[in-house]
Structure 1
Protein backbone atom coordinates (compact mmCIF):
# COMPACT_ATOMS: atom_id res chain seq x y z
CA UNK A 1 0.00 0.00 0.00
CA UNK A 2 1.23 3.48 -0.77
CA UNK A 3 0.30 7.04 0.20
CA UNK A 4 1.30 10.43 -1.16
CA UNK A 5 2.66 13.10 1.18
CA UNK A 6 2.25 16.63 -0.13
CA UNK A 7 3.27 20.03 1.20
CA UNK A 8 2.42 23.61 0.22
CA UNK A 9 5.71 25.28 -0.68
CA UNK A 10 7.31 28.33 -2.24
CA UNK A 11 5.37 30.51 0.18
CA UNK A 12 8.33 32.24 1.78
CA UNK A 13 8.79 29.79 4.64
CA UNK A 14 12.37 28.89 5.63
CA UNK A 15 11.54 25.19 6.00
CA UNK A 16 11.07 24.08 2.38
CA UNK A 17 14.53 22.56 1.95
CA UNK A 18 14.25 20.66 5.26
CA UNK A 19 10.77 19.27 4.50
CA UNK A 20 11.39 18.27 0.87
CA UNK A 21 13.18 14.95 1.69
CA UNK A 22 10.12 13.71 3.59
CA UNK A 23 7.44 14.34 0.93
CA UNK A 24 6.49 12.95 -2.48
CA UNK A 25 4.58 15.95 -3.91
CA UNK A 26 5.07 19.72 -3.65
CA UNK A 27 2.33 22.28 -4.27
CA UNK A 28 4.17 25.43 -5.35
CA UNK A 29 2.75 28.94 -4.89
CA UNK A 30 2.48 30.73 -8.23
CA UNK A 31 3.04 34.33 -7.15
CA UNK A 32 -0.51 35.39 -6.31
CA UNK A 33 -1.10 34.51 -2.65
CA UNK A 34 2.66 34.09 -2.10
CA UNK A 35 5.94 33.71 -3.93
CA UNK A 36 7.35 35.05 -7.19
CA UNK A 37 9.29 33.73 -10.18
CA UNK A 38 12.46 33.35 -8.12
CA UNK A 39 10.78 31.29 -5.38
CA UNK A 40 9.09 29.16 -8.03
CA UNK A 41 12.46 28.45 -9.65
CA UNK A 42 14.08 27.66 -6.29
CA UNK A 43 11.27 25.32 -5.24
CA UNK A 44 11.08 23.50 -8.57
CA UNK A 45 14.86 23.00 -8.41
CA UNK A 46 14.54 21.55 -4.89
CA UNK A 47 11.76 19.23 -6.02
CA UNK A 48 13.87 17.98 -8.92
CA UNK A 49 16.77 17.26 -6.57
CA UNK A 50 14.54 15.10 -4.35
CA UNK A 51 12.46 13.54 -7.15
CA UNK A 52 9.31 15.13 -5.76
CA UNK A 53 6.25 15.57 -8.00
CA UNK A 54 5.55 19.22 -8.87
CA UNK A 55 2.13 20.84 -8.63
CA UNK A 56 0.71 24.34 -9.06
CA UNK A 57 -0.84 25.91 -5.97
CA UNK A 58 -3.06 28.74 -7.28
CA UNK A 59 -4.78 31.05 -4.82
CA UNK A 60 -6.52 34.39 -4.64
CA UNK A 61 -4.44 37.42 -5.63
CA UNK A 62 -4.14 38.52 -2.00
CA UNK A 63 -0.67 38.36 -0.48
CA UNK A 64 -1.77 40.62 2.38
CA UNK A 65 -4.03 37.85 3.72
CA UNK A 66 -1.97 34.93 2.36
CA UNK A 67 -4.91 33.91 0.18
CA UNK A 68 -6.90 32.86 3.23
CA UNK A 69 -9.67 35.48 2.92
CA UNK A 70 -12.71 34.52 0.86
CA UNK A 71 -13.44 36.55 -2.27
CA UNK A 72 -16.53 36.59 -4.46
CA UNK A 73 -15.34 36.90 -8.06
CA UNK A 74 -17.04 36.50 -11.45
CA UNK A 75 -16.67 33.10 -13.09
CA UNK A 76 -14.32 34.48 -15.73
CA UNK A 77 -11.96 35.87 -13.09
CA UNK A 78 -11.85 32.54 -11.25
CA UNK A 79 -11.11 30.79 -14.53
CA UNK A 80 -8.31 33.23 -15.35
CA UNK A 81 -6.96 33.03 -11.81
CA UNK A 82 -6.40 29.28 -12.26
CA UNK A 83 -5.17 29.22 -15.84
CA UNK A 84 -2.72 32.12 -15.48
CA UNK A 85 -1.10 30.66 -12.38
CA UNK A 86 -0.77 27.21 -13.94
CA UNK A 87 0.87 28.77 -16.99
CA UNK A 88 3.29 30.74 -14.81
CA UNK A 89 4.54 27.59 -13.09
CA UNK A 90 4.51 25.62 -16.33
CA UNK A 91 6.89 28.16 -17.85
CA UNK A 92 9.25 27.82 -14.90
CA UNK A 93 9.08 24.02 -15.14
CA UNK A 94 9.78 24.14 -18.85
CA UNK A 95 12.82 26.34 -18.34
CA UNK A 96 14.24 23.90 -15.78
CA UNK A 97 13.40 20.69 -17.60
CA UNK A 98 10.71 19.72 -15.09
CA UNK A 99 7.16 18.45 -15.58
CA UNK A 100 4.04 19.87 -13.95
CA UNK A 101 1.95 17.02 -12.60
CA UNK A 102 -0.91 18.34 -10.51
CA UNK A 103 -2.91 21.34 -9.30
CA UNK A 104 -4.08 22.03 -5.77
CA UNK A 105 -6.04 25.23 -5.08
CA UNK A 106 -4.87 27.20 -2.07
CA UNK A 107 -6.45 28.47 1.12
CA UNK A 108 -9.81 30.21 0.86
CA UNK A 109 -10.21 29.21 -2.78
CA UNK A 110 -9.72 25.53 -1.86
CA UNK A 111 -12.15 25.63 1.05
CA UNK A 112 -14.81 27.56 -0.89
CA UNK A 113 -14.60 25.10 -3.76
CA UNK A 114 -14.85 22.13 -1.40
CA UNK A 115 -18.41 23.17 -0.54
CA UNK A 116 -19.44 24.91 -3.79
CA UNK A 117 -20.29 22.80 -6.83
CA UNK A 118 -20.32 25.71 -9.28
CA UNK A 119 -16.94 27.05 -8.19
CA UNK A 120 -15.45 23.56 -8.32
CA UNK A 121 -16.72 23.12 -11.86
CA UNK A 122 -15.05 26.36 -13.00
CA UNK A 123 -11.74 25.32 -11.42
CA UNK A 124 -11.90 21.83 -12.96
CA UNK A 125 -12.77 23.32 -16.36
CA UNK A 126 -9.81 25.71 -16.17
CA UNK A 127 -7.44 22.86 -15.33
CA UNK A 128 -8.77 20.62 -18.09
CA UNK A 129 -8.56 23.42 -20.67
CA UNK A 130 -4.97 24.19 -19.64
CA UNK A 131 -3.72 20.61 -19.50
CA UNK A 132 -6.12 17.64 -19.28
CA UNK A 133 -3.29 15.40 -18.07
CA UNK A 134 -3.00 17.29 -14.77
CA UNK A 135 -4.29 15.70 -11.56
CA UNK A 136 -6.52 17.76 -9.25
CA UNK A 137 -5.81 17.55 -5.53
CA UNK A 138 -8.98 18.28 -3.55
CA UNK A 139 -10.51 17.68 -0.14
CA UNK A 140 -11.73 14.11 0.18
CA UNK A 141 -15.48 13.75 -0.56
CA UNK A 142 -15.70 17.39 -1.66
CA UNK A 143 -17.21 19.05 -4.72
CA UNK A 144 -13.68 19.59 -6.06
CA UNK A 145 -13.15 15.84 -6.39
CA UNK A 146 -16.64 15.26 -7.82
CA UNK A 147 -16.38 18.06 -10.41
CA UNK A 148 -12.94 16.96 -11.56
CA UNK A 149 -14.00 13.32 -11.88
CA UNK A 150 -17.06 14.30 -13.91
CA UNK A 151 -14.78 16.13 -16.35
CA UNK A 152 -12.51 13.15 -16.71
CA UNK A 153 -9.60 14.62 -14.77
CA UNK A 154 -7.41 12.47 -12.56
CA UNK A 155 -7.98 13.24 -8.89
CA UNK A 156 -6.22 12.75 -5.56
CA UNK A 157 -8.45 12.81 -2.49
CA UNK A 158 -6.65 14.83 0.15
CA UNK A 159 -6.69 14.56 3.93
CA UNK A 160 -4.94 16.72 6.50
CA UNK A 161 -2.49 15.71 9.19
CA UNK A 162 -2.70 18.95 11.17
CA UNK A 163 -6.33 20.05 10.77
CA UNK A 164 -9.48 18.95 12.56
CA UNK A 165 -12.68 17.90 10.83
CA UNK A 166 -16.37 18.75 11.15
CA UNK A 167 -19.33 16.36 10.87
CA UNK A 168 -19.93 17.34 7.24
CA UNK A 169 -16.42 16.17 6.35
CA UNK A 170 -15.12 19.70 5.84
CA UNK A 171 -12.14 21.13 7.70
CA UNK A 172 -12.76 23.19 10.82
CA UNK A 173 -12.33 26.84 9.70
CA UNK A 174 -9.13 28.44 10.96
CA UNK A 175 -11.25 31.18 12.55
CA UNK A 176 -12.72 28.64 14.97
CA UNK A 177 -11.12 27.10 18.09
CA UNK A 178 -9.21 23.83 17.72
CA UNK A 179 -8.91 24.12 13.93
CA UNK A 180 -5.24 23.16 14.07
CA UNK A 181 -3.73 20.04 15.60
CA UNK A 182 -0.64 21.24 17.47
CA UNK A 183 0.19 17.97 19.25
CA UNK A 184 2.39 15.60 17.25
CA UNK A 185 0.94 12.44 18.78
CA UNK A 186 -2.61 13.56 17.93
CA UNK A 187 -1.58 14.35 14.36
CA UNK A 188 0.06 10.94 13.92
CA UNK A 189 -2.98 9.15 15.36
CA UNK A 190 -5.25 10.99 12.92
CA UNK A 191 -2.97 10.20 9.98
CA UNK A 192 -2.94 6.48 10.76
CA UNK A 193 -6.71 6.41 11.25
CA UNK A 194 -7.28 8.13 7.91
CA UNK A 195 -4.81 6.02 5.94
CA UNK A 196 -5.42 2.58 7.45
CA UNK A 197 -9.16 2.86 8.18
CA UNK A 198 -10.23 5.46 5.58
CA UNK A 199 -12.07 7.43 8.26
CA UNK A 200 -11.55 10.37 10.61
CA UNK A 201 -12.88 11.30 14.04
CA UNK A 202 -14.48 14.76 14.03
CA UNK A 203 -14.12 17.37 16.76
CA UNK A 204 -17.33 16.18 18.40
CA UNK A 205 -16.32 12.52 18.26
CA UNK A 206 -18.26 11.35 15.21
CA UNK A 207 -16.59 8.92 12.79
CA UNK A 208 -16.76 10.12 9.18
CA UNK A 209 -15.67 7.95 6.23
CA UNK A 210 -13.25 9.47 3.73
CA UNK A 211 -10.83 8.50 1.00
CA UNK A 212 -7.19 9.16 1.84
CA UNK A 213 -4.91 9.20 -1.20
CA UNK A 214 -2.68 12.13 -0.31
CA UNK A 215 -1.84 13.69 3.06
CA UNK A 216 -1.22 17.43 3.33
CA UNK A 217 1.57 18.71 5.54
CA UNK A 218 1.68 22.47 6.04
CA UNK A 219 5.08 24.11 5.66
CA UNK A 220 4.07 27.18 7.66
CA UNK A 221 3.22 25.46 10.95
CA UNK A 222 5.21 25.99 14.12
CA UNK A 223 6.30 22.35 14.08
CA UNK A 224 6.39 21.88 10.29
CA UNK A 225 9.70 20.04 9.95
CA UNK A 226 9.21 17.85 13.02
CA UNK A 227 5.67 16.95 11.86
CA UNK A 228 6.91 16.07 8.38
CA UNK A 229 9.69 13.88 9.76
CA UNK A 230 7.37 12.16 12.24
CA UNK A 231 4.60 11.49 9.71
CA UNK A 232 7.11 10.13 7.21
CA UNK A 233 8.71 7.86 9.81
CA UNK A 234 5.39 6.62 11.19
CA UNK A 235 4.07 5.71 7.76
CA UNK A 236 7.27 3.85 6.94
CA UNK A 237 7.05 1.96 10.25
CA UNK A 238 3.54 0.84 9.26
CA UNK A 239 4.90 -0.50 5.95
CA UNK A 240 3.36 2.20 3.80
CA UNK A 241 5.26 3.30 0.70
CA UNK A 242 5.43 7.07 0.28
CA UNK A 243 5.08 8.03 -3.37
CA UNK A 244 2.97 10.39 -5.46
CA UNK A 245 -0.37 9.17 -6.73
Structure 2
Protein backbone atom coordinates (compact mmCIF):
# COMPACT_ATOMS: atom_id res chain seq x y z
CA UNK A 1 0.00 0.00 0.00
CA UNK A 2 1.29 3.46 -0.93
CA UNK A 3 0.85 6.23 1.62
CA UNK A 4 0.85 9.94 0.95
CA UNK A 5 3.80 11.74 2.51
CA UNK A 6 2.73 13.58 5.68
CA UNK A 7 3.13 17.35 5.92
CA UNK A 8 6.44 17.90 7.72
CA UNK A 9 7.60 21.16 9.26
CA UNK A 10 10.99 21.98 10.75
CA UNK A 11 12.29 24.69 13.06
CA UNK A 12 14.88 26.75 11.19
CA UNK A 13 17.19 29.74 11.34
CA UNK A 14 18.63 28.55 14.64
CA UNK A 15 22.31 28.41 13.67
CA UNK A 16 22.43 24.66 13.09
CA UNK A 17 25.23 23.45 10.80
CA UNK A 18 23.88 21.60 7.77
CA UNK A 19 20.35 22.92 8.19
CA UNK A 20 20.02 24.17 4.60
CA UNK A 21 20.66 20.67 3.25
CA UNK A 22 17.44 19.47 4.90
CA UNK A 23 15.16 22.06 3.30
CA UNK A 24 14.32 20.02 0.16
CA UNK A 25 12.86 17.26 2.33
CA UNK A 26 10.36 19.25 4.41
CA UNK A 27 7.15 21.09 3.56
CA UNK A 28 7.39 24.06 5.90
CA UNK A 29 9.91 26.02 7.97
CA UNK A 30 9.33 27.77 11.29
CA UNK A 31 11.93 30.54 11.29
CA UNK A 32 13.42 31.90 14.52
CA UNK A 33 12.85 35.63 14.57
CA UNK A 34 15.00 36.98 17.38
CA UNK A 35 13.40 35.69 20.57
CA UNK A 36 15.35 32.50 21.29
CA UNK A 37 17.78 32.90 18.39
CA UNK A 38 18.58 35.13 15.47
CA UNK A 39 18.19 38.62 14.09
CA UNK A 40 17.37 40.23 10.75
CA UNK A 41 20.54 38.80 9.20
CA UNK A 42 19.80 35.18 10.15
CA UNK A 43 16.17 35.55 9.08
CA UNK A 44 17.34 36.93 5.73
CA UNK A 45 19.84 34.10 5.21
CA UNK A 46 17.27 31.44 6.13
CA UNK A 47 14.54 32.82 3.88
CA UNK A 48 16.99 33.46 1.05
CA UNK A 49 17.86 29.76 1.03
CA UNK A 50 14.29 28.60 1.60
CA UNK A 51 12.82 30.44 -1.38
CA UNK A 52 14.95 28.28 -3.67
CA UNK A 53 12.52 25.48 -2.84
CA UNK A 54 8.74 25.26 -2.66
CA UNK A 55 8.63 25.50 1.11
CA UNK A 56 5.91 27.11 3.22
CA UNK A 57 7.35 29.76 5.52
CA UNK A 58 6.33 30.80 9.00
CA UNK A 59 7.40 32.85 12.02
CA UNK A 60 8.67 31.07 15.14
CA UNK A 61 8.39 33.54 18.05
CA UNK A 62 9.59 32.75 21.55
CA UNK A 63 10.05 34.13 24.99
CA UNK A 64 12.85 36.73 24.64
CA UNK A 65 15.53 34.44 26.06
CA UNK A 66 18.50 33.65 23.86
CA UNK A 67 20.54 32.51 26.85
CA UNK A 68 18.28 29.49 27.38
CA UNK A 69 17.23 29.08 23.72
CA UNK A 70 13.66 29.91 24.71
CA UNK A 71 13.28 26.68 26.66
CA UNK A 72 12.67 28.23 30.09
CA UNK A 73 9.35 29.77 31.13
CA UNK A 74 9.54 33.49 31.85
CA UNK A 75 7.32 35.65 34.05
CA UNK A 76 6.57 38.62 31.81
CA UNK A 77 3.85 41.22 32.12
CA UNK A 78 1.17 41.12 29.39
CA UNK A 79 2.63 44.32 27.99
CA UNK A 80 6.16 42.91 27.89
CA UNK A 81 5.10 39.69 26.19
CA UNK A 82 2.87 41.50 23.70
CA UNK A 83 5.68 43.88 22.75
CA UNK A 84 8.21 41.06 22.34
CA UNK A 85 5.98 38.82 20.23
CA UNK A 86 4.86 41.72 18.04
CA UNK A 87 8.47 42.84 17.58
CA UNK A 88 9.61 39.35 16.58
CA UNK A 89 6.85 38.74 14.06
CA UNK A 90 7.08 42.25 12.61
CA UNK A 91 10.82 41.69 12.13
CA UNK A 92 10.18 38.43 10.32
CA UNK A 93 7.46 39.99 8.16
CA UNK A 94 9.71 42.90 7.13
CA UNK A 95 12.50 40.59 6.01
CA UNK A 96 10.09 38.33 4.15
CA UNK A 97 8.63 41.34 2.36
CA UNK A 98 12.10 42.58 1.41
CA UNK A 99 12.70 39.26 -0.36
CA UNK A 100 9.25 39.10 -1.93
CA UNK A 101 8.60 35.93 0.07
CA UNK A 102 5.11 34.99 1.15
CA UNK A 103 4.51 33.36 4.50
CA UNK A 104 1.54 31.54 5.92
CA UNK A 105 1.89 30.43 9.53
CA UNK A 106 2.99 31.19 13.08
CA UNK A 107 4.31 28.61 15.53
CA UNK A 108 5.36 29.53 19.08
CA UNK A 109 8.65 28.05 20.28
CA UNK A 110 9.84 26.03 23.24
CA UNK A 111 8.64 26.96 26.70
CA UNK A 112 6.21 29.50 25.26
CA UNK A 113 4.63 26.77 23.10
CA UNK A 114 4.18 24.54 26.14
CA UNK A 115 2.93 27.33 28.42
CA UNK A 116 0.36 28.48 25.85
CA UNK A 117 -1.03 24.96 25.73
CA UNK A 118 -2.22 25.14 29.34
CA UNK A 119 -2.38 28.81 30.39
CA UNK A 120 -5.53 30.59 29.24
CA UNK A 121 -4.46 34.08 30.29
CA UNK A 122 -1.14 33.71 28.50
CA UNK A 123 -2.94 32.41 25.41
CA UNK A 124 -5.16 35.49 25.36
CA UNK A 125 -2.11 37.77 25.51
CA UNK A 126 -0.39 35.88 22.69
CA UNK A 127 -3.46 35.92 20.45
CA UNK A 128 -3.86 39.65 21.06
CA UNK A 129 -0.21 40.19 20.11
CA UNK A 130 -0.60 38.39 16.78
CA UNK A 131 -4.02 39.84 15.93
CA UNK A 132 -2.59 41.92 13.03
CA UNK A 133 -1.65 38.58 11.46
CA UNK A 134 -4.94 36.78 12.08
CA UNK A 135 -5.04 35.46 8.52
CA UNK A 136 -2.06 33.21 9.29
CA UNK A 137 -2.45 29.58 10.32
CA UNK A 138 -1.31 28.71 13.84
CA UNK A 139 0.61 25.47 14.42
CA UNK A 140 -0.58 24.30 17.85
CA UNK A 141 -1.06 21.20 19.95
CA UNK A 142 -4.44 19.55 19.48
CA UNK A 143 -6.87 19.99 22.40
CA UNK A 144 -4.62 22.62 23.98
CA UNK A 145 -6.00 25.71 25.68
CA UNK A 146 -4.64 28.03 23.00
CA UNK A 147 -5.94 25.85 20.16
CA UNK A 148 -9.47 26.16 21.53
CA UNK A 149 -9.18 29.91 22.13
CA UNK A 150 -7.61 30.53 18.71
CA UNK A 151 -10.42 28.65 16.96
CA UNK A 152 -13.02 30.61 18.94
CA UNK A 153 -11.39 33.85 17.79
CA UNK A 154 -11.44 32.83 14.14
CA UNK A 155 -7.80 31.83 13.67
CA UNK A 156 -7.01 28.88 11.43
CA UNK A 157 -5.41 26.13 13.50
CA UNK A 158 -3.25 23.24 12.30
CA UNK A 159 -2.83 20.44 14.85
CA UNK A 160 0.87 19.74 15.21
CA UNK A 161 2.56 16.56 16.42
CA UNK A 162 6.26 15.88 16.89
CA UNK A 163 8.13 13.17 15.01
CA UNK A 164 11.04 13.19 17.44
CA UNK A 165 9.28 13.60 20.80
CA UNK A 166 7.33 11.35 23.15
CA UNK A 167 4.02 12.35 24.73
CA UNK A 168 2.44 12.09 28.17
CA UNK A 169 -0.95 13.31 26.89
CA UNK A 170 -2.42 14.64 23.64
CA UNK A 171 -1.33 18.15 24.62
CA UNK A 172 1.69 17.37 26.78
CA UNK A 173 5.18 16.38 25.69
CA UNK A 174 7.55 14.45 27.93
CA UNK A 175 9.74 17.18 29.50
CA UNK A 176 13.13 17.53 27.84
CA UNK A 177 14.96 16.86 31.09
CA UNK A 178 13.50 13.35 31.28
CA UNK A 179 15.19 10.34 29.70
CA UNK A 180 12.50 9.37 27.19
CA UNK A 181 11.69 12.89 25.98
CA UNK A 182 13.44 12.67 22.60
CA UNK A 183 13.18 9.95 19.96
CA UNK A 184 16.64 9.53 18.43
CA UNK A 185 16.32 6.19 16.66
CA UNK A 186 15.40 6.84 12.99
CA UNK A 187 13.30 3.68 12.62
CA UNK A 188 11.40 4.44 15.81
CA UNK A 189 10.77 8.01 14.66
CA UNK A 190 9.49 6.76 11.29
CA UNK A 191 7.15 4.30 13.00
CA UNK A 192 5.96 7.07 15.33
CA UNK A 193 5.21 9.31 12.34
CA UNK A 194 3.50 6.56 10.35
CA UNK A 195 1.26 5.61 13.26
CA UNK A 196 0.20 9.23 13.83
CA UNK A 197 -0.22 10.19 10.18
CA UNK A 198 -1.95 7.13 8.78
CA UNK A 199 -3.57 5.41 11.75
CA UNK A 200 -4.53 8.73 13.37
CA UNK A 201 -3.31 7.32 16.65
CA UNK A 202 -0.77 8.47 19.22
CA UNK A 203 0.93 6.07 21.61
CA UNK A 204 1.62 7.79 24.91
CA UNK A 205 4.75 7.01 26.89
CA UNK A 206 2.89 4.58 29.14
CA UNK A 207 1.61 2.60 26.14
CA UNK A 208 -1.93 4.00 25.98
CA UNK A 209 -3.16 4.72 22.45
CA UNK A 210 -5.41 7.72 21.77
CA UNK A 211 -7.11 8.96 18.61
CA UNK A 212 -5.80 12.18 17.08
CA UNK A 213 -6.57 14.53 14.20
CA UNK A 214 -3.12 15.64 12.97
CA UNK A 215 -2.39 18.18 10.24
CA UNK A 216 1.38 18.69 10.37
CA UNK A 217 4.39 16.98 11.94
CA UNK A 218 7.47 18.72 13.32
CA UNK A 219 11.08 17.63 13.41
CA UNK A 220 13.71 19.68 15.25
CA UNK A 221 16.76 20.79 13.28
CA UNK A 222 18.90 20.86 16.45
CA UNK A 223 18.68 17.11 17.15
CA UNK A 224 21.78 15.17 16.12
CA UNK A 225 19.68 12.39 14.60
CA UNK A 226 17.54 14.68 12.43
CA UNK A 227 19.43 14.03 9.14
CA UNK A 228 19.14 10.27 9.70
CA UNK A 229 15.45 10.53 10.62
CA UNK A 230 14.71 12.58 7.51
CA UNK A 231 16.67 10.08 5.40
CA UNK A 232 14.56 7.25 6.82
CA UNK A 233 11.34 9.14 6.10
CA UNK A 234 12.52 9.92 2.57
CA UNK A 235 13.21 6.23 1.88
CA UNK A 236 9.55 5.48 2.52
CA UNK A 237 7.77 8.58 1.23
CA UNK A 238 10.23 10.16 -1.18
CA UNK A 239 11.38 13.78 -1.02
Structure 1 CA distance for aligned equivalents of residues 103 and 52 of structure 2: 15
Per the TM alignment, residue 2 of structure 1 is displaced from its structure 2 partner at its CA by 6.1
Partner of 1:122: helix, strand, or coil? helix
Structure 2 CA distance for aligned equivalents of residues 169 and 190 of structure 1: 16
Structure 2 CA distance for aligned equivalents of residues 209 and 82 of structure 1: 33
Partner of 2:98: helix, strand, or coil? helix
Deviations 1:26-55 (A, max 9, x none): 000001210121110011111110111110
The residue number in structure 2 matching 1:239 is none
Is structure 2 residue 106 aligned with structure 1 residue 91? no
Normalised by the length of structure 2, the TM-score is: 0.94
Per the TM alignment, residue 231 of structure 1 is displaced from its structure 2 partner at its CA by 2.2
4+ runs deviating over 6 angstroms: none
Structure 2 CA distance for aligned equivalents of residues 126 and 28 of structure 1: 18
Q: Is the 8 A contact 1:161 1:217 kept in 2?
A: yes
Of the three residues 44, 53, 56, the one matched with 1:53 is: 56
Partner of 1:145: helix, strand, or coil? helix
Structure 1 CA distance for aligned equivalents of residues 99 and 134 of structure 2: 22
Q: CA RMSD in A?
A: 1.5
The residue number in structure 2 matching 1:215 is 217
In the alignment, structure 2 segments of 5+ residues that lack a partner are none
Q: Is the 8 A contact 1:57 1:103 kept in 2?
A: yes
Per the TM alignment, residue 199 of structure 1 is displaced from its structure 2 partner at its CA by 1.5
Structure 2 CA distance for aligned equivalents of residues 229 and 26 of structure 1: 18
In the alignment, structure 1 segments of 5+ residues that lack a partner are 237-241
Structure 1 CA distance for aligned equivalents of residues 73 and 18 of structure 2: 26
Structure 2 CA distance for aligned equivalents of residues 152 and 169 of structure 1: 21
Higher RCO (C-alpha 8 Å, min separation 6) = 1
Is structure 2 residue 205 aligned with structure 1 residue 203? yes
Q: Is the 8 A contact 1:56 1:89 kept in 2?
A: yes
Correspondence list, 1:103-118, <5 A: 103-118=106-121
Of the three residues 135, 138, 148, the one matched with 1:136 is: 138
Deviations 1:106-161 (A, max 9, x none): 0000011112222222222222x222211111112212221211110111110000
